[in-house]
Amino acid sequence: MQHVKAKEGVSLPAALEVSAVSHFYGEKQALSESSFSIAPGRFAVLLGLNGAGKTTLFSLISRLFDTRHGTIRIFGHDIRREPGEALRRLGIVFQARTLDLDLSVCQNLSYHASLHGIGRAEAMSRIRTLLAQIDMGDRLYDKVRSLSGGQMRRIEIARALLHRPPLLLLDEATVGLDIRSRAEILAAIRELVHTEGISVFWATHLIDEVEESDHVVILDKGRVLADGRVDDVVRACGANGIREAFATLSGVASVAGGAAR
Amino acid sequence: MTLQSATSRIPEPAPRQGFGARQYLVCLKGILVREGLRFLNQRERFVSSLVRPLLWLFVFAAGFRQVLGVSIIPPYKTYVLYEVFITPGLCGMILLFSGMQSSLSMVYDREMGNMRTLLVSPFPRWFLLISKLLAGVMVSIMQVYAFLAIAWFWDVRPPWTGYLMILPALFLSGMMLCSLGMLLSSMIKQLENFAGVMNFVIFPMYFASPALYPLWRIQESSPLLHKICLANPFTYAVELIRFALYGEVDRGPLLIVVGFTVLFLGGAILAYDPSIGLLGRKQDNGGNA
């Protein structure tokens, strides 16, 4: 198990440790011996083209799929052997919308709180605080159906933070949003890392969401092609930037615009 | 938009904590409340769940009253009208359709992603599934009592103790049928396949049972069908409900319903366990979790 030295000299386990994980859909291999780890308090980006295996990896980390080959640990807790301990440390924003459209914002968030054993009074206090922070305090009793796509996404992020997880997974959280909503959400999550020390694993296929100080894991056809700080990955590839490094590694002729395709 | 943790800095990863009994209750209550709210929000679902048995009671039973005579058989002490005879069967019908509808809702939830929020909860998966089952049964029982209230105005008036005694019978039968629905939902990959459940599970279970006619009549007309009825778990749910509605406990059906409940529930829990279940195997084919 990988450990990271904390400031006080206390040894902390990695926020997320993926060791030799493979996954198959029938005969087709979706992940191949993938290994990497994310230190606590880091913003890590999982970068890959559509179909690279990002959602499969997230399904394994969140125990929607069983990890049959390799191990996944969240703050030292094996997702297979100690799923409860691992999942309570994990907040997840899925790629697909998972809010109940017919329920109100409050009812959706309360439901999530109860799924983590948080009582009503404490849940309501946290819900009001989080909604105020995402500028949606006045939408508490509105049906989710009446919200815009960006607002729904913000609610899902608030929901993922409700049980105060030290690790947050976001699977293509900005897909389908306009530029302004994308930038706002990304900035808010980055700020969360700086101010709260939370660890974030952000899956995307959009290269312009990657910053130089980030930890990046590049996934292609189920294989981890690069894992490390962005500037280290760029230097190792002899490239001029992450865009060029990604194009080189994934064998894509050029990566135009924001999308890695 | 400036996100912070809800009230304070997110703490260092906590040591192993587990959950206490109070937290389990909070989780169970949350799942029950959500299912109740969904049911209340979908009024057409409530109305349609009542229309089906009421049509059988008002139209079918009225038409067949003169054709089908029901002799004096336990638990009835006198000759009863056909409407009275089929009422327990119609209560069972509500549980059967509702159990399967909750299975439909799980397939829908899996497709739409709502099920994921449940499955990534840190509580044990068996507990989450049983809570979901209880929520489905709670909704079914509400439907049955609404049906019995309307039937009372149609002169279907069992003794008042029956209304109390029927509750555990409905609960057990509901658990059995919802467990079966949950087991089936783990085998269904897409929502479209639910039509198959209707044709191959719901209708055969309903018609090959004493819901509409007594077992002895079935035996007279077709010994083979009688054997099929005896192998049908729904038969025992109907008989359990019928006796309970008249203040009696029929131990044979009771034990059989408990047995099938344990079997189906165990199967559903195994099926939804990602490491051993059908859902785990389904992921190999690219299915949704």
Taking CB atoms and an 8 Å cutoff, what residues of chain B touch A110?
A: 30, 33
Q: Which residues contact B205 (CB under 8 A, 6 or more apart)?
A: B96, B232, B233, B234
pLDDT at B286 over 70: no
The per-residue pLDDT for B6 is 45
Tell me whether strands A43-48 and A16-25 are parallel, antiparallel or unpaired: unpaired
Which residue from A minimizes the CA distance to B6? Answer: A126
Chain B residue whose CA is closest to A163: B6
User: What pLDDT score does B67 carry?
Assistant: 65
DSSP characters over chain B: -----SSSPPPSPPPP----HHHHHHHHHHHHHHHHHHHHH-HHHHHHHHHHHHHIIIIIHHHHTTT------TT-SS---HHHHHHHHHHHHHHHHHHHHHHHHHHHHHHHTHHHHHHTSSS-HHHHHHHHHHHHHHHHHHHHHHHHHHHHTTT----HHHHHHHHHHHHHHHHHHHHHHHHHHHH--SGGGHHHHIIIIIHHHHHSSTTSS-HHHHHHH-HHHHHHHHH-HHHHHHHHHHHHHTT---HHHHHHHHHHHHHHHHHHHHHH-TTTSHHHHHHTTT---
The yes-or-no verdict on residue B15 having pLDDT over 60 is no
Of B3 and B275, the structure prediction assigns the larger pLDDT to B3
pLDDT, residue A11, reads 64
Asked if B119 contacts A64 with a C-beta cutoff of 8 angstroms, the reply is yes
Q: Which residues, in sequence order, are CB contacts of A219 under 8 Å at separation 6+? A: A34, A46, A47, A48, A52, A53, A54, A57, A225
pLDDT digits 0-9 by tens, B228-249: 999 999 999 999 999 999 988 8
B17 inside 8 A of chain A by CB: yes
Q: Is the pLDDT of residue B144 over 70?
A: yes
User: Which of B95, B104, B94, B93 is closest to B206 using CA atoms?
Assistant: B93
Q: So what's the pLDDT on residue B121?
A: 93
Q: Are B211 and B242 in contact (CB under 8 A)?
A: no
Confidence grade of residue A10 (pLDDT, cut at 50, 70, 90): low
Check residue A7 and give its pLDDT: 47
β-strands A77-78, A69-74 pairing = antiparallel
A interface mutation test: which of B43, B283, B288 has the most A CBs within 10 A? B283
CA atoms within 13 A on the CB side of B246: 18
pLDDT of A47 > 50? The answer is yes
Calculate mean pLDDT across residues A206-230: 92
**pLDDT on residue A176:** 77
The number of CA neighbours under 13 Å toward the Cβ of B104 is 15
Alpha carbon of A84: minimum distance to chain B alpha carbons (Å): 4
- Percentage of residues of chain B with pLDDT beyond 90: 37
**DSSP 3-state of A162:** coil
Between B145 and B269, residue with greater pLDDT: B145
| pLDDT for res A46 | 95
- Tell me what pLDDT residue B147 has: 93
Work out the pLDDT band at B62, boundaries 50, 70, 90: confident
Q: What is the spatial distance between Cα B256 and Cα B243, in angstroms, rounded to a whole number?
A: 15
Whether A111 and B10 lie within 8 Å, measured CB to CB: no
pLDDT tens-digit readout, B74-87: 777 777 778 888 99
Flag if B6 and A189 touch (Cβ within 8 Å): no
The reply to whether residue A196 touches residue B10, judged by beta carbons under 8 angstroms, is yes
Between A182-191, A196-205, B103-112, B173-182, the lowest mean confidence (pLDDT) is in B103-112
Determine the pLDDT at residue B185: 80
Query: Which residues touch A33 (CB under 8 Å, ≥6 apart)?
Result: A20, A21, A22, A70, A223
Percent of chain B whose pLDDT exceeds 70: 80
* Interval A76-107: pLDDT, tens: 999 999 999 999 999 999 888 889 888 999 99
Residue A138, min C-alpha distance to chain B (Å): 14
Mean pLDDT of B28-54: 86
Query: Is the pLDDT higher at A89 or at B197?
Result: A89
**C-alpha dihedral over A138, A144, A147, A151, to 10 degrees?**
80
- The nearest CA of chain A is from the CA of B14 a distance in Å of 8
In whole angstroms, give the CA distance from residue A154 to residue A85: 26
pLDDT value at residue B76: 72
User: What is the reported pLDDT for B1?
Assistant: 65
What mean pLDDT value characterizes chain A? 88
Chain A nearest-CA residue for B287: A25
Residue of B nearest to A150 (CA): B1
pLDDT digits (tens, 9 = 90+) for A21-44: 999 988 889 999 999 999 999 999
* Tokens describing residue A132: 């105020």
In angstroms, the CA B237 to CA B255 distance is: 10
Q: Which amino acid is at A131?
A: L
- Closest residue in A to B37 (Cα) is A103
B66 at interface of A, judged by CB pairs closer than 8 A: no
Per-residue confidence (pLDDT) for residue A155, from 0 to 100: 94
Amino acid at B175: M
Q: Does B138 touch chain A (CB under 8 A)?
A: no
In this structure, what DSSP letter does residue A142 have?
S
Q: 10 Å Cβ neighbour count for B195?
A: 9
- Residue A5's pLDDT is 47
pLDDT of residue B189: 67
Distance CA A93, CA B117 (A): 10
Nearest-CA distance A150 → chain B (Å): 12
Q: CB A191 to CB B114 under 8 A?
A: no
In angstroms, the CA B154 to CA B140 distance is 21
Query: What is the sign of the dihedral through the CA atoms of A199, B286, B120 and B31?
Result: positive
Task: Note the helical H segments in A5-72.
Answer: 54-61
Helix (H) or strand (E) holding A33: strand A28-38
Give me the residue label for tokens 């344990």: B262
- Please list every residue in chain B whose beta carbon sits closer than 8 Å to the beta carbon of residue A96: 112-113
Cα B170-B172-B174 angle, rounded to 5 deg: 60
Distances (CA, A) of A150 to A147, A159, A171: 8, 14, 15
Question: Which of B1, B18, B121 has its CB closest to that of A87?
Answer: B121
Looking at residue A239, its pLDDT comes to 85
- For A104-140, the pLDDT digits (tens) are 999 999 999 999 999 999 999 999 999 998 889 999 9
Of A19, A76, A67, A74, the residue nearest A201 (C-alpha) = A74
* Chain centroid to CA A110: 22
